[in-house]
Amino acid sequence: MQGLPVVSGKKLIKALQKIGYNAIRQKGSHIQMRLETEQGVHTITIPLHDEIAPGTLNDIIGRVSLWTGISKRVLIERLKKG
């Protein structure tokens, strides 16, 4: 797998919004986002940190990949492009 980019929470939120996720609430430094699909509703929490830890980012990308059907490789490329 390609190396993960260093991204902020805000950049990740913008990328997720482009593929259909909507911000539904914020509590402290975390935002919950939701995607409604035919399979159900996927809710994910995004930390609003300047840099998201690699393990956290990998987990988020993996979960988003499962729910959207977009490969992890494509999601990583989109994050790198901005």
Q: Closest Cα to residue 15, out of 5, 25, 30?
A: 5
* pLDDT average, residue stretch 23-51: 96
Q: What is the DSSP letter of 51?
A: S
* pLDDT average, residue stretch 17-32: 97
* Residue 69: predicted pLDDT: 95
Q: Closest Cα to residue 66, out of 46, 33, 40?
A: 40
Backbone angles phi, psi at 62, to 5 degrees: -65, -45
Domains and CATH numbers, the chain: 9-81 (3.30.920)
pLDDT in tens, 58-72: 999 999 999 999 999
Contact 8, 51 (CB under 8 A): yes
Q: Amino acid letter at 24?
A: I
